[in-house]
Amino acid sequence: MIQTDIIIIGAGPVGLFTVFEAGLLKLRCHLIDSLPQPGGQCSEIYPKKPIYDIPGFPSVLAGDLIDNLMEQAAPFKPGFTLGEAAMTIDKTEDGKFIVTTVKGTKHEAPIVMIAGGLGVFEPRKPPIDTIDNYEDKGVEYIIKDPEFYRGKRVVIAGGGDSALDWSIFLAEKNIAKEVVLVHRSSSFRGHLDSVQKVIDMAGEGKISLVTEAEVTGITGDGKVEGVVITHQKDGEILRETDHFIPLFGLKPSLGPIADWGLEIDKNAIKVDTLDYSTNIPGIYAIGDVNTYENKLKLILCGFHEGTLAVQSAFARIYPDKKNILKYTTVNGVNGF
């Protein structure tokens, strides 16, 4: 049984910063994440993209932000259970919580902070029967590192910003040898600038744009060697490629947390903005996973939420102790 002051479910940016804020109050944290690495969406979906709205950083790569948050949390020696989804929560007789993972690892604490973001990541997949056989063998649903595609032929499918931006990036920087963008409609959902840029690059022969068409099949022995593109008017064509990257977004799915008796609204946990507590005393929800009036799913908002939630957690754990806010400039960072 792993024992701590705060169990944080989700080691995304918000969970990680909360370790720091809890540490300033001398509260220990243990993080659980179903992914094998910390960083949430920043590490899993867009580690090489710059973020421009983190206060004090005019620009920071999402992956670098996570490295910095890990360094900032390090003095407070957080524990990690990675690669294991939190499945169940139980209450002990003395009012603590026990969170058990899919592998049976048990964690006990008086406070649980859910920083589960989009929940368990589930990409939207195209309806191709054999697609599962080619996952990580040429089919990827997320571009983590564009360098992976250097010198390769890629077929991207989708009509949103991800599909447009990555097609532009891989072609403009001469990373991929060949970029084909397939979209089932002739209009796109992405930003107008990006749509125009793709059309211009298609005119210059830098991107092959195939609209009113869908990828309906994959060929290859043990790995992707080609895709079948079915055009609404012209029928099927076989296109040789090394990678097929359907970028249809992620399905928000709270996963097991949805069955914990928490008040849920549209796949997110309802909280009181006084301290980001849920309807179950002792359980808080912070970051993308929560909802309230005027909620913005931004990293900086999650940082604020985690900061206020640990203050409230401190008062629950130590009802008789008075906590006086001390600036880090005055007190420094005194780790464990």
For ligand FAD, give the closer residue by CB, 83 or 217: 83
Residue in 20, 302, 309, 313 binding ligand FAD, rule: CB under 6 A: 302
Interaction with ligand FAD in 147-186: which residues (CB under 6 A)? none
Comparing CA positions, the residue from 240, 223, 231, 127 lying closest to residue 177 is 240
Query: Taking the complex as a whole, how short is the minimal distance between the CB of residue 179 and ligand FAD, in angstroms?
Result: 19
Q: How far apart are CA 155 and CA 106, in angstroms?
A: 43
Query: Which amino acid does the sequence have at 251?
Result: K
**How far apart are alpha carbons 16 and 28 in whole angstroms?**
12
User: Is the dihedral angle over the CA atoms 16, 4, 22, 92 positive or is it negative?
Assistant: positive
Q: Which stretch binds ligand FAD (CB under 6 A): 19-27, 113-121, 174-182, 260-268?
A: 113-121
- CB-wise, 253 or 311, nearer to ligand FAD? 253
Number of helices and strands in the chain (H, E): 7, 23
Q: Which listed residue (6, 8, 15, 112) binds ligand FAD by CB under 6 A?
A: 15
Question: Does residue number 117 form part of the binding site for ligand FAD (CB under 6 A)?
Answer: yes
Q: Does position 297 bind ligand FAD by CB under 6 A?
A: yes
Which one of the spans 5-13, 124-132, 179-187, 320-328 is the region binding ligand FAD (CB under 6 A)? 5-13
Task: Report if residue 33 touches ligand FAD, rule: CB under 6 A.
Answer: yes
| Residue 131 C-beta: closest distance to ligand FAD, Å | 22
To the nearest whole angstrom, how small is the minimum distance from the Cβ of residue 189 to ligand FAD? 14
- Nearest distance, CB of residue 83 and ligand FAD, angstroms: 9
**Residue with smaller CB distance to ligand FAD, 171 or 269:** 269
Provide φ and ψ at 52, rounded to 5°. -115, 0
Nearest to 287 by CA among 37, 39, 55, 62: 39
Q: Which of 116, 126, 138, 220 binds ligand FAD (CB under 6 A)?
A: 116
Q: What is the 3-state secondary structure (H, E, C) of 184-252?
A: CCCCCCCCHHHHHHHHHHHHCCCCEEEECEEEEEEECCCCCCEEEEEECCCEEEEEECCEEEECCCEEC
Q: Of 94 and 136, which CB lies nearer to ligand FAD in the complex structure? A: 136
**Cα atoms in the 13 Å half-sphere on the side-chain side of 201:** 26
Which single residue is written with the structure tokens 């969170």? 99
Widest CA span in the chain: 75
Binding site for ligand FAD (CB under 6 A): 9-15, 32-35, 40-42, 45-46, 51, 53, 85-86, 115-120, 255-257, 287-289, 297-300, 302
